[in-house]
């Protein structure tokens, strides 16, 4: 829209060109690619789930870009946010896992990976990785952390309160607090993502669940709304 006052001065003649000083142009190194990740752990299992939609602005880049990355036989990480940083971060983590394996002659435990991730992320404190991370896994004895859960990414604010209620039994009274089984957890994760896909535009297309038990890592894919 042309603002005439900028071009014409008070006397009606076109204004002379003046150098108005330095003009600031901004380049943002980040982009937001959407996606939601969720991790739930029970007595003897852990699961990490994510949707598979990769978006930017109002467009969809890919309907098949899962955000769970398998690190070891007992650990899976879910990364959402800026896809460029997700890829780089997982590459760095995988390289560090190899280095640890070669120098210590054993695989990293889930707890060790989480501690290492914390130092990697803080190393970029002043130019952060724009990634929401959740690590899910079993410890050395094959146990998960009982009844723990966390949601991250674009629809996290929608999922977290429902999980607080269904897994943490928060804001409820006179309810029998049964420990979480694998079947119930998988059903809950599917239902919760179906609901998130209704209301969050960035969540949809498909849901990928990585289920970690002492047998290893198993994958399940469930279709979601594509609109």
Are the CB atoms for 113 and 119 separated by under 8 Å?
no
Stretch that binds other proteins, among 13-21, 38-46, 50-58, 82-90 (CB under 8 A): 50-58
Task: Tell me: does residue 131 bind other proteins (CB under 8 A).
Answer: no
Give min distance, CB of 73 to other proteins, in A. Answer: 29
Residue placing its CB nearer to other proteins in the complex, 189 or 212 = 189
Stretch that binds other proteins, among 70-78, 99-107, 125-133, 183-191 (CB under 8 A): 183-191
How many Å apart are CA 141 and CA 134, to the nearest integer?
Answer: 21
Task: Tell me: does residue 200 bind other proteins (CB under 8 A).
Answer: yes
Stretch that binds other proteins, among 75-83, 108-116, 127-135, 217-225 (CB under 8 A): 217-225
List alpha helices for 30-178, DSSP H.
Answer: 83-104, 110-123, 156-166
Residue bearing tokens 């210590």? 104
Tokens of 110: 């889930």
DSSP 13: S
Task: Tell me: does residue 219 bind other proteins (CB under 8 A).
Answer: no
Task: Enumerate residues 6+ apart whose C-beta is below 8 A from 7.
Answer: 14, 15
Give the angle subtended at the CA of 26 by the CAs of 23 and 32, to the nearest 5°.
165
- Binder among 148, 160, 195, 213 for other proteins (CB under 8 A): 195
Give min distance, CB of 27 to other proteins, in A. Answer: 23
Task: Tell me: does residue 178 bind other proteins (CB under 8 A).
Answer: no
Task: Tell me: does residue 51 bind other proteins (CB under 8 A).
Answer: no
Residue placing its CB nearer to other proteins in the complex, 62 or 118 = 62
Give min distance, CB of 2 to other proteins, in A. Answer: 11
- Please provide the size of the chain in residues: 227
Instruction: Give the bridge partners for 79, in sequence order.
Output: 133
How many Å apart are CA 138 and CA 119, to the nearest integer?
Answer: 21
Give min distance, CB of 64 to other proteins, in A. Answer: 14
Tell me whether residue 179 is exposed, middle or buried, using C-beta atoms within 10 angstroms of its C-beta: 0 to 12, 13 to 18, 19 or more: exposed
Task: Tell me: does residue 2 bind other proteins (CB under 8 A).
Answer: no
Q: Which residues bind other proteins (CB under 8 A)?
A: 1, 55, 57-60, 154, 166, 171-175, 187-188, 190-191, 194-195, 197-202, 223-227
């Amino acid at each position: 829209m042309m603002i005439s006052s900028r071009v014409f001065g008070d006397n009606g003649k076109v204004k002379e060109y003046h150098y108005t000083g330095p003009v600031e142009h901004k380049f943002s190194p980040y982009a937001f690619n959407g996606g939601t990740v969720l991790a739930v752990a029970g007595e003897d299992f852990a699961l990490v789930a994510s949707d598979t939609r990769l978006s930017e602005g109002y467009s969809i880049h890919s309907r098949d870009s899962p955000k769970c990355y398998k690190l070891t036989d007992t650990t899976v990480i879910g990364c959402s946010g800026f896809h460029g940083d997700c890829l780089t971060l997982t590459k760095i983590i995988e390289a560090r896992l190899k280095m640890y394996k070669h120098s210590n002659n054993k695989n990293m435990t889930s707890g060790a990976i989480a501690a290492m991730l914390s130092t990697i992320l803080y190393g970029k404190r002043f130019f952060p990785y724009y990634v929401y991370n959740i690590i899910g896994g079993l410890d050395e004895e094959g146990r998960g952390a009982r009844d723990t859960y966390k949601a991250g990414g674009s629809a996290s604010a929608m999922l977290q309160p429902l999980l607080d209620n269904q897994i943490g039994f928060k804001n409820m009274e006179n309810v029998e607090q049964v420990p979480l089984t694998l079947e119930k957890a998988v059903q809950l994760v599917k239902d919760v993502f179906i609901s998130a896909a209704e209301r969050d535009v960035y969540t949809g297309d498909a849901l990928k669940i990585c289920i970690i038990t002492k047998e290893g890592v198993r994958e399940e894919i469930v279709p979601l709304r594509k609109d």
